[in-house]
Amino acid sequence: MKCAIQGLNSSLWMIRNSSLMLYSTMMERIFGVNRTRDCDSKKNRMSSSVFFAKFPGMRAFLLQSFEESLRGGRSPTIGRTKLFALLNLLTRFLPPVQSATSDGTIVHAFLPYVFACAGSADIRIRLLAARSLTCLLQPACLPTLALRILILVTTQLRRSSEARSMSHNRLHGLLLQLLEILRSEYWPKLGTADTALADDANNGILPHQNCSLLQEVDGQLNDLLLLLSADSTNATLCPLLRQTGFACLLAAHPKSRLEAPEILRVARCLLQPELLTPSSPASLDVAATGLLTLIFNLQEGSEYFRSALLSMLDTSSSTLELQRILLGCLLLSLLPTPVQGVGFIRRDRLLWYEEIIFTLDTLLAPAPAALSSLPQTSGGASRQVGTLIDQLSRILMRQGRPDTTTAYYASLALAVFAVSSGSELVHSDSLVRVVLSYSADREKALTPAILPSHLSPLLVLEAVQFCRHSRKDGDFSSCDNLFRRLAVHLDPCCRTETKTHTVALAAASNALLANADSILDCQSSELLALFFALLSLIVSDAEDEIRFLTARVLRNLLEACRFPVNLPRDPLPITLLPHFIDFLLQHWSRSAVSSLLEWLYKAVVEMWIQSPEGSAVRLFVPESTGLSIGPADLSRQVRRALTEWTAAVPDKNRVEWLAPQIGSFVRRLRQHSSDYESVVSSDGRAAADIASDFEYFSDFLQCCSSQSWTDKRSLV
């Protein structure tokens, strides 16, 4: 190891290259092969006392090597490869957790050199020095050192750029070290201001630490927030330094001592248009990290929370990227399980804008499915919430680029407000105006209107508005439009996006369950089209989550309509299919029969016969059950339902009416089979087999119609 480290400082490239390979081999021999992907994991590290006990001469050698590498200037620029190897070795030490051991004394001599590396001109040296610092400190020292770094940094930031005695590199290095301290697993978590320090033995938190020290750190962090967002420092500090400072605040997640006006002043400072320019791409990272810091400093649920977000949205109207972050954080606060700020912390690097967006998209992925089960808040909506909805509506209306995630977040936030809030909020003109304006614009070109995927949450708004407003006033003129639009968005032959299907299912659930009492009296063909679109989702090759969510919605609808069904709360889709077909035939009789035959023809022709995947679609069920559904299975279910429907009522006219319907269905299927047989013979035979089965059923009906009703019942 000594030979490898000394060779890294050679002027000959061949020696440096060989030394680097030797260094890598020795690290693997000493610490072992990495047991996890994370090199910083405890499984890949060793106690410093064990290391120096095995290699007694290494301590003096490492100290001398640090001295040689740092000699010649406060900002080391010579021997960076050797310095990098030395710091990398220190990062493989386990922190001296117990104060009774000698680990802290052994590694204490390395601290001055690590602090000196904070001023390196190479950012990689500064990053590695920050990581190695927490490996040399006892947990009891972390709050004290964090406070000293904060005092040192804030003192420098209060001075003018000419009066500062530290370079930006050193300030950045100190903030990186502070960031690693705050991210350390041994850093005591801050609760409220009156919460005493935890002394969890598993985390190594020592009992002699006191709460006043952490409160002082908390106060210094708030001062750092004000200094990083002050107008005087915006022009003098580099964006990377400010971004690192905001990352420290986000990692600490202190309890905010700032009043709402001060929070808003900081936000306006971060959102200044002149700072967010294409010539300074890092400024977007700074603003994004700073906004997250402000949002998570606010106490969620406080009276200032939504009003602060409202003002931030208004200020960020010219920057869609920052609006996306603000709307995403708003959605996190509205959903049942909001995510804490620590969910955005990454231990391996600083928090960039792309990371924030990726994290938000991941956390909000279940949001469309949650629309079906959001609890409704009691009482009327506050004026702040109503104002926020108006602001979101304006953002959506003036969206310059329609196909963006920002518009999706805005419409999804409106949908969440509509579902979870009371009728007073839903009667707001802003909600109705947004829905009608977007629907009307697209109905001019498409009938029925098909909303883009990023505006699909507006379906939920329209459904909730219909349930709570039109139904209350006795106006059902918009009923057919709503059912038609929902059917189009749910039909897998028209829309294939999982997100759109999930949102449309939430809208259909709200519209159908809220009107379960009046659904049975509705004879609208658009309602039947909606029902068969839901059935299409069950039998199609959609995502398993969509099929099970559809089955849950239909199961709840059967229960709300008092239809006897003995199924679990979350039934398998295939087990729900016969029950729902019986429900349709029982309540909509001949209209349901015509729609059922048309749906079966469409399912056979479009979902399987023309599908390159084949003629059978297996549902997400255990293989041992053998439950699958395909054209033959589906046709048997329909024939069984029609047979029972025919025998349920002693009506000869029903049989005479059904026979020509079946005959027309068979002729259409035969024609399609002959046309398609030349292309895919197997699928053509499948259609021909289904036609033959229904032809036998047609012959059976004709036989029944020529006999007495009693004889027909015996045949069945």
What residues does each domain of the chain span?
1-137, 604-716
Local confidence band at 397 (pLDDT 50, 70, 90 cut-offs): low
| Weakest mean pLDDT among 116-120, 497-501, 695-699, 708-712 | 708-712
Please give the backbone phi and psi of residue 617, each rounded to the nearest 5 degrees, phi first: -125, 120
pLDDT digits (tens, 9 = 90+) for 580-609: 999 999 999 999 999 999 988 887 776 555
pLDDT digits (tens, 9 = 90+) for 55-114: 888 999 999 989 888 875 444 444 688 888 999 999 888 888 754 445 556 788 899 999
Residue 511: its pLDDT value, please? Answer: 85
Q: In what helix (H) or strand (E) does residue 145 lie, and over which residues does it extend?
A: helix 142-158
CA distances for 468 relative to 46, 80, 379, angstroms: 65, 69, 15
Residue 175: its pLDDT value, please? Answer: 93
Residue 174: its pLDDT value, please? Answer: 94
Whether 622 has a pLDDT exceeding 70, the answer reads no
- Residue 285 · residue 332 · CB < 8 Å: no
Mean pLDDT of the chain: 75
Residue 70: its pLDDT value, please? Answer: 84
pTM of the prediction? 0.76
pLDDT digits (tens, 9 = 90+) for 538-555: 887 677 888 888 999 999
**Residues 205-230, mean pLDDT to the nearest whole number:** 74
Residue 338: its pLDDT value, please? Answer: 53
For 298-366, where are the alpha helices, taking DSSP H only? 305-315, 320-334, 353-363
Local confidence band at 291 (pLDDT 50, 70, 90 cut-offs): confident
Q: What is the largest CA-CA distance in the chain?
A: 112
Residue 666: its pLDDT value, please? Answer: 87
**Residues 683-690, mean pLDDT to the nearest whole number:** 67
Whether 18 has a pLDDT exceeding 90, the answer reads yes
**Residues 408-420, mean pLDDT to the nearest whole number:** 82
In this structure, the strands spanning 46-47 and 93-94 are parallel
Burial 42-71 (b: 16+ CB within 10 A, else e): eebbebbbebbeeeeebbeebeebbeebbe
Residue 302: its pLDDT value, please? Answer: 57
Helix 239-252 / helix 211-228 crossing angle, nearest 10 deg: 150
Nearest C-alpha neighbor of 143 from the set 223, 104, 198, 202: 198
Whether 347 has a pLDDT exceeding 50, the answer reads no
3-class secondary-structure state, position 188: coil
pLDDT digits (tens, 9 = 90+) for 428-445: 555 555 555 655 555 444
Whether 682 has a pLDDT exceeding 70, the answer reads no
3-class secondary-structure state, position 659: helix
Contacts of residue 175, defined as CB under 8 A and 6 or more positions apart, other chains included, come to 149, 153, 241, 244, 245, 248
Q: What percent of the chain has pLDDT over 70?
A: 69
Contacts of residue 284, defined as CB under 8 A and 6 or more positions apart, other chains included, come to 276, 321, 322, 353
**How far is 515 from 513, CA to CA, in rounded Å?**
5
Whether 369 has a pLDDT exceeding 70, the answer reads yes
Local confidence band at 676 (pLDDT 50, 70, 90 cut-offs): low
pLDDT digits (tens, 9 = 90+) for 374-384: 766 654 455 55
**How far is 604 from 612, CA to CA, in rounded Å?**
13
